[in-house]
Amino acid sequence: MSNPTAAMLVIGDEILSGRTREANAYHLAGRLTQVGIDLREIRVVPDDHAVIVDAITALRGAHAHVFTSGGIGPTHDDITADAVADAFGVGIDVREDARAHLQAAVGAGRTLTDEHLRMARIPHGAALIVNRMSGAPGFSVGNVHVMAGVPEIFVAMLDELLPGLDSGKPVLSRELRFDVGEGRIAAPLRALADEFRTLSVGSYPFRDASGYGTNIVVRGTDIELIDLAIERLEAIRRSVV
């Protein structure tokens, strides 16, 4: 597959301490698969300026897109915007259009506090990612797309962002369930994967009330080829059950 590649960078001590279950990676992964962007890495790092800067620098050099979540609120532990600015070597300031979005969100009559204004600090040269859920915008600098950690806001920002990005062919998949452990089908599966080299053939064992089973997932961009591989798998299934 020659779709553009991407990485996700999740920023937040709360994930690494086990307080919070990470909630945005699964959504992002599914959406990128739909639009034909190949997610190649997810990295979770703490609220540590130098660590975030290093991760952004590494990931943006290796991938067409980097999607971040977390650390863009008003408190002392929200340090993502400054880290992105440093990673690109650009300045960061309160920006008028971001301030206007926050003003609209709090209501025209209210004075914006320092905390509101902190959320209007945007690295120079960025494009805003506005959203229908909150006044505080995300932003893109180059190929780095900075979004909120709160799941509903992350979803809304991604909806806004995705249509404008370079993407490729949607990745399609079909799945077949085997009521045997994966050891029983490993040999024919390996032969199938060797034959259909442009497809990805994944084997996912499970155990439920009725015993061991295996789901086989075939992924690729050519649906006819996927269908052909599934036919072959159905024949394998008839031979083992």
Residues of the shown chain interacting with a second copy in the complex, contacts defined by CB under 8 A: 10, 13-22, 25-33, 39-47, 51, 73-78, 113-116, 118-119, 150, 152, 171, 173, 182-187, 189-190, 193-194, 200-207, 217, 219
CA pair distance 226, 196, nearest whole angstrom:
9
At residue 166's C-alpha, the angle toward residues 225 and 100, to 5°, is: 145
Name the residue nearer to a second copy (CB basis): 40 or 49.
Answer: 40
Name the residue nearer to a second copy (CB basis): 44 or 130.
Answer: 44
Q: How far is the CB of 125 from a second copy (least distance, A)?
A: 26
Name the residue nearer to a second copy (CB basis): 89 or 194.
Answer: 194
Q: How far is the CB of 142 from a second copy (least distance, A)?
A: 22
Provide the residue type at 216 as one letter. Answer: I
Tokens of 48: 């540590």
Name the residue nearer to a second copy (CB basis): 37 or 92.
Answer: 37
Q: How far is the CB of 139 from a second copy (least distance, A)?
A: 19
Chain centroid to CA 182: how far?
29
CA pair distance 209, 212, nearest whole angstrom:
9
Tokens 């024949």 — which residue?
235
Q: How far is the CB of 164 from a second copy (least distance, A)?
A: 21
Name the residue nearer to a second copy (CB basis): 47 or 86.
Answer: 47
Provide the residue type at 95 as one letter. Answer: R
Residue 154 class from Cβ within 10 Å (0-12 exposed, 13-18 middle, 19+ buried)? buried
Q: How far is the CB of 24 from a second copy (least distance, A)?
A: 11
